[in-house]
Each structure stands twice: as structure tokens, then as C-alpha cells.
């Protein structure tokens, strides 16, 4: 398994100062920046699009991890790749041909991710492992930050860890939603290796301490 990475979610940042927020969180030790793209249709909230991703791209060198909560997603994959996304993840429910969408992301030279909603079974990703770089387990229903972690998703994380390990493939296992210093150890123990955290980083006064706090369980276990 990889060393765990922390990916702060910009959704919880101060939107009036996005550029500075990106710089600050990168300086504070974030491994990736998680960018939540919401269309008010696939999820009941609207965030920002590729123009904003592109504007922020020059503010930090860390990988941009773009989580698409839009449907359809296919018409926008190239725009997010051009905007500077390093990883582009989408939900199987966002279109009729998940395999084709993942192929498109790979053909754009970007890493591909599949996002599983709380009710979406692990089987949704079982037959696309060969073109998947990241699997994201939603531990809340997508659309909003600041929700409570769904404990029911821990068994899914463990099941996916077994699936990834037995495939022998280099696939990251990410968790998103309600990740805090209290729930992070549970996610890591279940086998996650990338933690997304919005409120637990941008909602705190000291970003570096918050990020270190999320990593702490990994260090203790090492
Ligand atoms: C929810 C988003 C999350 C959100 C997490 O739809 O995918 O990335 O920002 O926020 P917290 O960490 O506050 O639950
Ligand atoms: Zn997200």
C-alpha cells in the first residue's frame, strides 16, 4: 500500500480568496488539491467550473484532483484536462459508458478515477480496473461539505482494498466526506490511502496542524 496522502477540498475554502487559499494549503503540506465540480443537476449544489480550475492552476504545483459531480461529464473532460487537472474522477451514474469516459480521460493524458456513491456497489468498478487510477468512496452523499461520515462505507473501503490488492494494479483508494481527525484513522485502517478533507482543513485556523493531524494516525501505525 502507498503512504497516505491528504487532499484538502477547496469547497470549504474562502471563495473570495481562492488563489491565496490554494497557496496556503499547498504551503501547509497538502499532497493534492481536491476540486469539487457541481452542476446543480447531478447533485443539488453548484460550485465552479474549468475556468476557475485554470485560474488556480498557476497558484500551486501539487496535483489537481478534480471530482466531477456533473452529468453528462463526457462533454467537459477535455476542458478540465486543458484547465490543468491531473486526476479526473467521475461517477458511473453520470453517463451510459463509464469505460469510454475513463478511456477518454486516459487519452487526454490524465489519471482516471471512479467515484462510488454510498449506495453504489463495488461491482460498479470491478470490470474497469485496467483503466482506473483511483477509486473514490463517498462517505457522505455528494453535494455539500460538512456532513457526517457514514460508517457504513468502511466495509466498502475494506472490500475495495482487497479488490485492488488482488488485482495487483497501482490504484489509489480515496475517501471523501466527513473525514476528520476522528474518522481518518478508521478510513486508513480499512485500507484507504488518500483522504479528502474540506471542513477538517479549510475550516481550521492552522492548515498545517490540521493536515498533520489527519496524517498522525498513519504515523502512529507505521
Ligand atoms: C462533497 C464533496 C466533498 C466535500 C467534503 O460532495 O465531494 O469533497 O468537499 O467536505 P467535508 O470534508 O467537509 O465533508
Ligand atoms: Zn469531492
Evaluate if residue 106 carries a pLDDT over 90: yes
Distance CA 212, CA 184 (A): 12
> Ligand 1: which of 196, 197, 202 to mutate, judged by most atoms within 8 Å of the beta carbon?
196
**Domain 5-221 sits in CATH 3.30.230.10:** no
pLDDT score, position 146: 98
9 lines ligand 1 (CB under 6 A): yes
Distances (CA, A) of 178 to 70, 133, 141, 163: 21, 23, 10, 24
Reply yes or no on whether 36 is catalytic.
yes
Instruction: Provide the 3-class DSSP secondary structure of residue 134.
Output: strand
pLDDT score, position 191: 98
pTM across the whole model = 0.97
Give the distance (Å) from ligand 2 centre to CA of residue 176: 6
- Domain chopping of the chain, boundaries: 5-221
| Confidence band for 142, pLDDT divided at 50, 70 and 90 | very high
Reply yes or no on whether 14 is catalytic.
no
Q: What does the pLDDT look like over 60-94, one tens digit per residue?
A: 999 999 999 999 999 999 999 999 999 999 999 99
Where do we find the cell 483508494?
173
Mean pLDDT of the chain: 96
Q: Which of the following is catalytic: 36, 39, 65, 193?
A: 36
pLDDT score, position 220: 52
Which whole number is the average pLDDT over 90-105?
A: 98
H-assigned helices in 91-206: 98-107, 123-126, 153-167, 184-190, 199-202
Give the distance (Å) from ligand 2 centre to CA of residue 137: 10
Q: What does the pLDDT look like over 161-181, one tens digit per residue?
A: 999 999 999 999 999 999 999
Give the distance (Å) from ligand 1 centre to CA of residue 144: 6
Amino acid at each position: 500500500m502507498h503512504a497516505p496522502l491528504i487532499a484538502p477540498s477547496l469547497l470549504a475554502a474562502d471563495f473570495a480568496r481562492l488563489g491565496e487559499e490554494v497557496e496556503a494549503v499547498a504551503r501547509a503540506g497538502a499532497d493534492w488539491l481536491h476540486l469539487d465540480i457541481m452542476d446543480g443537476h447531478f447533485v443539488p449544489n453548484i460550485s465552479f467550473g474549468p475556468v476557475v480550475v485554470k485560474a488556480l492552476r498557476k497558484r500551486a504545483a501539487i496535483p489537481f484532483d478534480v471530482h466531477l459531480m456533473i452529468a453528462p461529464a463526457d462533454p467537459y473532460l477535455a476542458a478540465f484536462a486543458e484547465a490543468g487537472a491531473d486526476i479526473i474522477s467521475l461517477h458511473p451514474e453520470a453517463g451510459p459508458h463509464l469505460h469510454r469516459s475513463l478511456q477518454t480521460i486516459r487519452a487526454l493524458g490524465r489519471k482516471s478515477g471512479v467515484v462510488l456513491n454510498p449506495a453504489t456497489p463495488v461491482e460498479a468498478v470491478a470490470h474497469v480496473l485496467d483503466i482506473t487510477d483511483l477509486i473514490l468512496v463517498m462517505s457522505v452523499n455528494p453535494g455539500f461539505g460538512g456532513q457526517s461520515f457514514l460508517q457504513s462505507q468502511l466495509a466498502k473501503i475494506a472490500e475495495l482494498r482487497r479488490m485492488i490488492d488482488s488485482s495487483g494494479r497501482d490504484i489509489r483508494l480515496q475517501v471523501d466526506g466527513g473525514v476528520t481527525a476522528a474518522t481518518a484513522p478508521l478510513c486508513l485502517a480499512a485500507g484507504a490511502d488518500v483522504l479528502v478533507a474540506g471542513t477538517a482543513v479549510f475550516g481550521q485556523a492552522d492548515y498545517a496542524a490540521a493536515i498533520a493531524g489527519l496524517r498522525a494516525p498513519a504515523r502512529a501505525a507505521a
